Amino acid sequence: MPDTFAPGTRVTVRSAFPPGHIRTPAYLRGATGEVERVLGPFGNPERLAYNLPAEKLPLYRVRFRLGDLFDGADRPDDTLEAEIFAHWLEPA
C-alpha cells in the first residue's frame, strides 16, 4: 500500500467485501477514478467502530465518472467524488 497517491493519480478501489463497518460504498468497489486531493491522516473507521486501537491512514478524495460507475448513466461525463481510505486503493 503506497503511502501517497499524488493528486491526478489513477486508482482502483479494491473489490473486496469483508464484514464489519466499512466506509467504502459498495457501488465504488472495483471502480477506477482519479485522486482529487489527499486528506488526513484519519483513524481507520473499521477499527474505531469497535473501539479498537486505530492506525492513522491517508484519506483520498477520488473523482469518478458516472459513466464508469453505472451502466446507462444519464450523463456519463457527470462526476462523483468520495473519500476512500488508503488501504482500499490500488494503482490503476
Partner 1 sequence: MPHDHPEHSHEGMSPSGHPYRADQDGPLTRSQVMEIAIRELLIEKGVLTADQIASQIDAMDARNPANGAQVVARAWADPAFRDRLLTDGSAACGEMGFDVGPMKLIAVENTDALHNIIVCTLCSCYPRNLLGLPPDWYKSRAYRSRTVREPRKVLAEFGVTLPDDVEVRVHDSTADMRYLVVPRRPDGTEDLDEAGLAALVTRDSMIGTGIAKTPE
Residues found near partner 1 in the complex (CB under 8 A): 23-25, 27, 39-40, 42, 45, 59, 61, 66, 69-70, 73-75, 77-85
Residue with cell 459513466: 67
Q: Which is nearer to partner 1, 8 or 75 (CB)?
A: 75
Cα 80 from chain centroid? 12
Over its C-alpha atoms, the chain yields an Rg (Å, rounded) of: 13
* Shortest distance (Å) from residue 88 CB to partner 1: 10
Phi/psi at 27 (5° precision): -70, -10
The whole-angstrom separation of Cα 31 and Cα 26 is 10
Q: Which is nearer to partner 1, 42 or 90 (CB)?
A: 42
Q: Which is nearer to partner 1, 14 or 23 (CB)?
A: 23
Output DSSP code: residue 13. E
Residue with cell 453505472: 70
* Shortest distance (Å) from residue 84 CB to partner 1: 7
* Shortest distance (Å) from residue 82 CB to partner 1: 4
Q: Which is nearer to partner 1, 12 or 69 (CB)?
A: 69
Name the grid cell of 18. Answer: 469483508
